[in-house]
Amino acid sequence: MAGSGYASGVSEKTTTLTLQAPPRFDLHRAVCSYGYFILAPNHWDVKARVLHRPLRTAAGRVVKTTLRQRADRTLVLACGRAVPRGDHATLKNQVRRMLRFDEDFTAWRALHPLAKKRRFDRMFRSPTLFEDVVKTVTSCNVTWANTIQMNRLMVEHVGHGGFPTPEQLADFGEARLKERCRVGYRAGRIVQLARDVVKGEIVLDGFEEPGRKSGELFEAFRGIYGIGPYAAGNLCHLVGAYDRLAIDTETYRHFCLQHQVKRPRGDDAAGLKRLHTKIENHYERYAPFQFLAYWFELWEDYQARCGPAWGWDRETTGAGFTASQLK
């Protein structure tokens, strides 16, 4: 439905859309369930409990939106300008993807009663898989603070307020991306991905086809230039394949701390391999939701330290997840 908004006394047409939320859905829990909610152009308003998020029309135009949940649990997407009716479904589908409306978590809830009690299931992701891949690349081999900075600069300098499209990144080029957005060696990987998508050499929609097995997905993601084992494992859960863990140094830190396991030195390859196997064996009991079980455990620890995630300000608490603080 369309409405009217007013700014400085000037009438301006806007659009408001509604979406029916699934049962047991809480917007604040669904959004604040994975670190990407802190990354630009997402902005979770702690006080109002709404998500500010620029989306794109089918033609690529940026639309500023605010997403909130009414008392009757209906979701309301308020757009900052009038949106043609033909783009209503485009915007709604982006919201559905972010909040995983098309996934069924009945079996997960039966397998993990504590997660069911805490209403933990829908892990936040981006409106597009392209954005998820780029954000995963910016989260590897770097501090979380730098990941936040990279994404903020890409939104500002490349996406003009929205997350950059493949076309924008392809045109921006590697040298400028490295200089202006401080992404370092990742510039080549991000621009190559963008250009491959633009040329049709990588078809990301194919990764989200129903029924694809995690092993097949993992190998397909590994086939993208610059995507290593951790990134491929992380991308598997971002397309709904939860039976593959994405193990990195944070996984080692958390597992050893929570389960009283001595952590091997970084140069102890044999010890790290044994630890890797021990982690996989531990979460095997939650198959086919190993990643969900791991992330629930990790997120519970974060919230025990910092309070509920929906209360994390992105400039302070949300930016403060460093190894030194999480010892």
Per-residue pLDDT reduced to its tens digit, 278-302: 999 999 999 999 999 999 999 999 9
Q: Which of 31, 99, 32 is nearest to 306 (CA)?
A: 32
Integer CA distances (angstroms), 205 to 70, 128, 208, 239, 315, in order:
32, 9, 6, 10, 33
pLDDT value of residue 204? 97
What are the tokens at 209?
Answer: 């086809």
Identify the CATH homologous superfamily for domain 2-105. DNA-3-methyladenine glycosylase AlkA, N-terminal domain (3.30.310.20)
What are the structure tokens assigned to 173, written together? 């080029």
pLDDT, position 9: 37
**Kind and range of the H or E run holding 43:** strand 43-45
Does the pLDDT of residue 3 top 50, yes or no? no
Classify domain 129-238 by CATH number.
1.10.340.30
- Say if residue 178's pLDDT is above 60: yes
When the pLDDT of each residue in the chain is averaged and rounded to a whole number, the result is 93
pLDDT value of residue 95: 98
Tell me what pLDDT residue 321 has: 73
What is the amino acid identity at position 79? C
Query: Which of the pair, 249 or 7, is modelled with greater confidence?
Result: 249
Q: What pLDDT, on the 0 to 100 scale, is given for residue 4?
A: 34
Q: Band of the pLDDT at 6, cuts 50, 70, 90? A: very low
- Predicted local confidence at residue 308, as pLDDT: 97
324 vs 130, residue with greater confidence: 130
| Spatial CA neighbour of 178 closest among 146, 150, 142 | 150
314 compared with 327, residue with greater pLDDT: 314
- Band of pLDDT at residue 157, cut at 50, 70 and 90: very high
Q: Give the per-residue pLDDT at 11.
A: 41
> How would you classify the pairing of strands 10-19 and 2-7?
antiparallel
Question: How crowded is the C-beta side of 218, counted as CA atoms within 13 Å?
Answer: 14
pLDDT score recorded for residue 211: 87
DSSP state of 202: S
Query: For residue 324, what pLDDT band results from cuts at 50, 70 and 90?
Result: low
Rounded average pLDDT over 260-278: 90
For residue 289 the two structure tokens come to: 């939701």
The domain ranges of the chain are 2-105, 129-238
What pLDDT was estimated at residue 268? Answer: 87
pLDDT digits (tens, 9 = 90+) for 30-63: 999 999 999 999 999 999 999 999 999 999 999 9
How confident is the model over 201-217, as pLDDT tens digits? 999 999 999 889 999 99
Percentage above 70 pLDDT, the chain: 94
pLDDT tens readout for residues 299-320 = 999 999 999 999 998 888 888 7
